[in-house]
Amino acid sequence: METESTLRLITDGACRGNPGPGAWGAWLRQSEHERVLWGYAPQTTNNRMELDAAVQGLQALKRPSQILVRSDSQYLIKGMTEWLAGWQKRGWRSAGGAAVKNQELWQALASLAQTHQIRWEWVRGHAGDVENEAVDALINRVLDRFAGAVQEASGEGWL
């Protein structure tokens, strides 16, 4: 249940090409306080950027919190709510026996999630959700600004 003290973490990630140049964004909101984080990678995948947005947002927190994580990535949401326990039980193997892709990011998320009380919520992307659209616009600005860059970049603020 969301209360006034619940921190909202809105995340998004994208690539231009997959793999290709990618960006992630994380918008932390609680009451009148907010913090916006973003990052760029010259060669990555969409799924890595979706996961990195959540990792970076959760790593930015200074103390255990009650959090609502909102994302348009079913990969992130289903991974954390449906698949994670099975992967851990099978030694980071999928149901088919293959190594779980992006394992280091999933492990980071699993560790961070133990610190907080988190509710994971999927939101349809590009469907008019104000928070999702704002973070999507941010990551597109990051991609526009760093297009062609060969090094990773990260920062804070709306750009």
Residues annotated within the binding site are 12, 50, 72, 136
Active site residue 126: yes
HEC profile for the chain?
A: CCCCCCEEEEEEEEECCCCEEEEEEEEEEECCEEEEEEEEEEEECHHHHHHHHHHHHHHCCCCCCEEEEEECCHHHHHHHHHHHHHHHHCCCECCCCCECCCHHHHHHHHHHHHHCEEEEEECCCCCCCHHHHHHHHHHHHHHHHHCCCCCCEEEECCC
Active site residue 79: no
Active site residue 129: no
Active site residue 125: no
Which residue is catalytic, options 4, 126, 148, 157? 126
Active site residue 136: yes
Annotation: binding site for Mg(2+): 12, 50, 72, 136
Active site residue 144: no
Catalytic residues: 12-13, 50, 72, 126, 136
